[in-house]
Amino acid sequence: MTSRLALGASKLVPDAKHIRKWEKMPAGIRSQLFHNPSKTLEQDFVVRSGHLSTHVLNAVSPGWTSSIPFAKWIVAKYILDSLG
């Protein structure tokens, strides 16, 4: 029997419905940016946008960076603004 999680995920990734067992993995270690001038760790996202790319740095929360409201904010503030 396929789990509800796998069925939901299969809408985005069709092969996910073939996964029979989901395992919880231990928490990982994520790097955090160091702000040299103040000698402190950055506590928030740092967004840098160039001509053809936008980068989200110090994204220590994968749940937050994959959220739709955060994506809409990035698009509105950094991508649409750069288009003029």
**Which domain range does residue 59 map to?**
25-83
pLDDT in tens, the chain (84 residues): 456 766 777 788 777 767 667 676 677 777 788 889 999 988 888 899 888 888 888 887 777 767 888 889 989 998 887 776
Instruction: Give the ranges where the chain is alpha helix by DSSP (H).
Output: 4-9, 62-65, 68-74, 81-83
Token pair recorded at residue 25:
């993995």
Question: According to the model, what pLDDT value does residue 17 have?
Answer: 67
In three-state secondary structure terms, 46 is strand
Q: What share of the chain is helix, strand, coil (3-state, %, to 5)?
A: 35, 15, 50
Determine, yes or no, domain membership for 57: yes
Q: Please say whether the beta carbons of 70 and 79 come within 8 A.
A: no
- Nearest by Cα to 45 from 15, 70, 22: 70
Domain count, the chain: 1
| 39 within a domain of the structure (yes/no) | yes
